[in-house]
Amino acid sequence: MFQAMNRNLSGGFILPLPVTQAFELFTPQGEMRWVPGWQPRYLHPADGRTQAGMVFTTGDGDELTLWTLADYQPASFHSRYVRVTPGSRFVQVSINCEALSDNQTAVTVTYVLTALSPAGNAAIVDFEAAYPAMLAKWQEYILAMG
């Protein structure tokens, strides 16, 4: 009998950027500036304008993932995405940015993952093992933007 795995992972890093600039890097369009291969396909709104309720997809085949921006609070530098990879996993991704100074921002990234299948359990195990390295890579990619 299938038993769904659930994990809550959180971590963060510091960016040498003002909080408004850092926060914008974690929108679907902002991530195109630093995430290799990130190509969201916008369903609503079609122009990809960042707003609560926006819907887009990424990936293909077994990794086709459907996304919505469930919470978008630019005034407090918080967003929460909800995504599902059908037949695999359901994920909530929260981004919180906090100004440490005029040109330094703490970024906290939290993933809550729930498996939808045995394959989803395996994907979560792999994701959990790679999570600290993934966040370090995110920071590296952003710093390399120049």
pLDDT means per 10 residues in the chain (146 residues)?
97 98 97 95 97 97 96 98 97 98 97 98 98 97 90
Total number of domains constituting the chain: 1
Any domain includes 37:
yes
Q: Residue 25: is it exposed, middle or buried by C-beta count within 10 angstroms (0-12/13-18/19+)?
A: buried
Spatial strand order in the sheet of 41-44:
6-15, 104-115, 89-101, 78-85, 65-73, 55-58, 41-44
What is the torsional sign of CA 22, 24, 27, 31?
negative
Specify the CATH number for the domain of residue 99. 3.30.530.20
Predicted local confidence at residue 146, as pLDDT: 66
- Residue 1 domain-assigned (yes or no): no
- Domain extent, residue 119, equals 6-144
Is residue 42 in some structural domain? Answer: yes
**Alpha-carbon radius of gyration of the chain:** 15
121 contacts 86 by C-beta, under 8 angstroms = no
What is the predicted pLDDT for the residue at 5?
98
